[in-house]
Structure 1
Amino acid sequence: MAGFDFDAARRWARFDPGRTLARRDDAQLPFADEDDLAGSSLLLDTCVYIDRMQGRAPPVVSGLVATRQVNHSTVALQELVHAVGALRPDDARSATAISAIERQIKAMPDHRLFEPDAEVLGRAALLAGMMCRLQGYDGDARLKALQDCVLFLQALRLGLTVLTANVREFDILLQLVPTGRVLFYRKG
């Protein structure tokens, strides 16, 4: 794979703390507050779109989105479009949800929508495999870990900060790759 150093990946994959990594106390994590409105550009996790559509995003998220440069990943686009396919056509609520998702996707400017490259995808697959091994993930959690790792490493490569409410997985990612940048929020 062009741009992917398999030997370095093999060395990195040997990492084993000898235990499952635990979620750290909130005081040790970067949670957003009103003092964080200015700062680095953001890459939005899929939960941000969903929380905003469902009215569960706290005011600080609206403030961050209004004041910082917001970027989008094809990972989030993929997860949102997947939801459209998963919604039941015979459920009356589906049309409303699909319309909301369509508005979100159409609001993503092309110049702010980024695709992960081969290096990010390769490293994310490795990191997700490590997470699954260390944390004992199986089934759907494995795919979710892969998507989270792609988003996390994509943000790192682009010099962006991931905005997410997914504290559990992204805290583990920060422990494995401390150079990453994440800003957490609590759902309203």
Structure 2
Amino acid sequence: MASFDFDAARRWTRFDPGRTLARRDDAALPFADEGELAGAALLLDTCVYIDRMQGRAPGVLSGLVATRQVNHSTVAVQELMHAVGVLRPDDPRTAAAIGAIERQVKAMPDHRLFEPDAEVLSRAALLAGMLCRLQGYRDDARLKALQDSVLFLQALKLGLTVLTANVREFDVLLQLVPTGRVLFYRKA
């Protein structure tokens, strides 16, 4: 960790547009198109697994997952396991939900499951802190900002494209780090 560039961090955190960053119009964002399924390898956001498990995955999502190289992050595994912990044991739907999550996690091939390294984690913490300051995030939104930042920067480092339906948060990340790659889809 001694190699982390605090001078760059200081320069980066001076960024202040004087306003919260607004979500851009859909026309300015990279949305998935059923006519263009081929492309860069993907890193799946947690919402992809959830939408597929809950039957909210649009056809374009299924096409992308079938056509492109799909990669997974331990960030998504962490978020899915958090969901297991949050589920109420006395709810009759819990056993089925845990079973679906278990199948999702076990289906991730080891050679396609990536852990963020110390550089990604530290830069993501910096980026998430900036998001919280610029966007006025509080409470649970702060943790979500950290997880999204880790996934975003992990994909950037690995040369992957994040696949997500989370337009609002990842659009802001793209505005702060335009070299990142994200592909959005709309839930069915």
TM-score (norm 2): 0.99
| C-alpha RMSD over aligned residues | 0.7
Runs of 4+ in 1 over 2 A off after TM superposition: none
Q: Name the aligned partner's letter for residue 92 of structure 2.
A: A
- Residue in structure 2 matched with residue 43 of structure 1 by the alignment: 43
Q: Deviations over 1:13-69 (max 9, x none)?
A: 111111110000000000001122100000000000000000001000000000000
Unpaired segments of 5 or more residues in structure 1?
none
Q: Name the aligned partner's letter for residue 71 of structure 1.
A: N
| Whole-angstrom distance in 1 between the partners of 2:68 and 2:108 | 15
| Whole-angstrom distance in 1 between the partners of 2:157 and 2:17 | 25
How is 1:31-70 mapped onto 2 (pairs within 5 angstroms)? 31-70=31-70
Q: Deviations over 1:46-99 (max 9, x none)?
A: 000000000001000000000000000000000001111110111100000000
Of the structure 1 ranges 120-129 and 5-14, higher mean CA displacement relative to structure 2 is found in: 5-14
| Whole-angstrom distance in 1 between the partners of 2:3 and 2:152 | 18
| Whole-angstrom distance in 2 between the partners of 1:119 and 1:3 | 9
- Residue in structure 2 matched with residue 148 of structure 1 by the alignment: 148
Identity of paired residues, percent? 87
| Whole-angstrom distance in 2 between the partners of 1:183 and 1:170 | 9
- Residue in structure 2 matched with residue 95 of structure 1 by the alignment: 95
- Residue in structure 1 matched with residue 168 of structure 2 by the alignment: 168
Q: Deviations over 1:98-117 (max 9, x none)?
A: 00000000000000000001
Q: Deviations over 1:135-163 (max 9, x none)?
A: 00010000000000000000000000000
SS at match of 1:71: strand
| Whole-angstrom distance in 1 between the partners of 2:118 and 2:43 | 19
Are positions 1:14 and 2:14 aligned together?
yes
SS at match of 1:149: helix
Unpaired segments of 5 or more residues in structure 2?
none
Q: Name the aligned partner's letter for residue 182 of structure 1.
A: V
- Residue in structure 1 matched with residue 4 of structure 2 by the alignment: 4
Q: Name the aligned partner's letter for residue 116 of structure 1.
A: P
SS at match of 1:43: strand
| Whole-angstrom distance in 1 between the partners of 2:95 and 2:136 | 37
SS at match of 1:35: coil
Give the deviation of 1:3 after TM superposition.
Answer: 3.9
TM-score (norm 1): 0.99
Q: Name the aligned partner's letter for residue 74 of structure 1.
A: T
Give the deviation of 1:4 after TM superposition.
Answer: 1.8
